[in-house]
Amino acid sequence: MDWATLEPSLNLTEIGEQAYRLIAELYPLCRSITGEGVRQTLAIVQQHIPLTVHEVPTGTRVFDWTVPKEWEIRDAYIKNAKGERIVDFRNSNLHVVSYSAPVRGKISLTELKEHLFSLPDRPDWIPYRTSYYKENWGFCLTHNQLLSLDGESYEVLIDSSLRAGQLTYGEFYLPGTTRDEVLLTSHICHPSLCNDNLSGIALLTLLAKLLASQPRCYSYRFLFIPGTIGSITWLARNEARVRRIKHGLVLACVGDPGHSSYKKSRRGDAEIDQAVRHVLEHLGQEYEILDFSPYGYDERQFCSPGFNLPVGCLMRTPHGRFPEYHTSADNLDLVRPECLADSFSKCLAILNVLENNRTYLNQNPKCEPQLGKRGLYSTMGGQAEARVNELAMLWVLNLSDGMHTLLDIANRSGVAFDTLQRAAQALLQHGLLKECVKAASRPPRTSENEGKMNPTAIGDTRRKGSKR
């Protein structure tokens, strides 16, 4: 992958529109950590990329956790004395607390209120609530709806079931020149919430689609997983291959108009952390780098001390910092095509850094080589104007002592990575640099069979002919 050649060919406007349409298509589905909503979501993603869908049975032990029962929801409402559905699941799937146990009957308002959730300070919004690991039931409604309840008793129905079933997740693997992997993930368990995290699902899908068409140094693994239990399940089932993950990004809340933010991996100075910082810094837009904390998305699991993977989280406005977070206002108005496109473009710029972050050895380390005689240097001396490209070459030469990557050089020099990348290519062509071989990089083994480890895969839709 080479950003310099890729960037001009991208139609970011179209990509933003495409991502937005995908969000709109996924929006009505009632997702949770298990169930049909997840399967339907993955099926839509499969229309874009040949995703492998995995199913893991209820009761499977995954580290300290157990795959929960599968949740099915068909209908739900609160009816008033006149039999009117005053809270109706058909209007918004947020109305039902996710994983609500079935309930049916007439109950007093007092008792009902113990099962109702609203937002007093946002009286028109429906909150989003879950109760995955403790059997319970409940309705979420606007505070205005709550205030209007004045009957003595109400008829409630939650036509759901909690039965042994499957936990479903999607996985897409793109082999590269080496088996070293970049992990890219999004959580897929939220119902009709756009920024958190249909935006992540849409971007991940389009990134995978694009990368499939590009030359790749790294192998790429895309995970579409329910939050927490999904990453735990994947890690439990793939413990042996975790060491191949050299860099990772969790994508979440990437569609709102706020500026970009990045939460660092637990390591804090991993290559991914440096790469993201470099890209955001050089774009000249406002951005924020957040320290790692063990609260957030699936980076919590990837960065648990037993794994400590170099996985950060790329967002725009972080979870909990925008008022619409986890409410019905996180809808199709909150996310914007141009913001999705901007996040997409930043992802590619980050991956470009990872793909091209090589270490070189200056072949003329004693004094500068004479760039002029190779046509690499302006021949008319004495002018004071900055010469960005010449300076980039001088930086690459000066720090290519085998101990600095291009990204190190970018950080020290303040020169943009892609400018240094072009400089390094010119110097390589003239024999002034040689690449240092990374010990960790090996060619992919052809005998590797991804399928083996997925006994419950319901469909291996990988593209034919892709080299595994």
Contact residues for a copy of itself, defined by CB under 8 A:
62-65, 98, 127-134, 136, 228, 231-232, 235-236, 239, 266, 291, 293-295, 300-301, 303-308, 319-320, 325-326, 362, 364-370, 372-373, 379-384, 391, 394-395, 397-401, 412-413
* Residue number with CB closer to a copy of itself (298 or 355): 298
Residue 172 host element (H or E) = strand 166-174
The closest alpha carbon to 140, from 124, 163, 160, 164, belongs to 124
- As a whole number of angstroms, the distance between CA 54 and CA 229 comes to 14
The closest alpha carbon to 79, from 118, 105, 113, belongs to 105
Residue 155 main-chain phi, psi, to 5 deg: -95, 125
Alpha-carbon torsion angle 91, 92, 95, 97, nearest 10: 140
To a copy of itself, the closest distance from the beta carbon of 460 in angstroms equals 26
Do the Cβ atoms of 262 and 301 come closer than 8 Å? no
User: Does the N-terminal peptide bond of residue 197 adopt cis geometry, omega within 30 degrees of 0?
Assistant: yes
Helix 199-211 to helix 36-46 angle (10° resolution) is 30
Residue 284 CB neighbours (<10 A): 7
Residue 65 β-bridge partners: 62
* Residue number with CB closer to a copy of itself (15 or 245): 245
DSSP strands (E only) in 51-150: 52-57, 61-62, 65-66, 70-79, 85-88, 103-108, 116-117, 139-140
The closest alpha carbon to 229, from 54, 33, 40, belongs to 33
- As a whole number of angstroms, the distance between CA 133 and CA 204 comes to 28
DSSP 337: H
To a copy of itself, the closest distance from the beta carbon of 54 in angstroms equals 17
Do the Cβ atoms of 271 and 296 come closer than 8 Å? no
- Classify 399 as helix, strand or coil: helix
To a copy of itself, the closest distance from the beta carbon of 1 in angstroms equals 28
Range 311-336 burial, b when 16+ CB lie within 10 A, else e: bbbbbbbbbeebebbbbbbbbeebbb
To a copy of itself, the closest distance from the beta carbon of 36 in angstroms equals 20
To a copy of itself, the closest distance from the beta carbon of 359 in angstroms equals 13
Show contacts of 397-401: CB within 8 Å, 24+ apart.
397/362, 397/364, 397/368, 397/369, 397/427, 397/432, 397/433, 398/362, 400/359, 400/360, 400/361, 400/362, 400/424, 400/433, 401/361, 401/362, 401/365
**What token pair was written down for 222?**
């895309």
Radius of gyration, CA atoms only, the chain: 25
Terminal Cα distance for the chain, rounded: 19
To a copy of itself, the closest distance from the beta carbon of 81 in angstroms equals 29
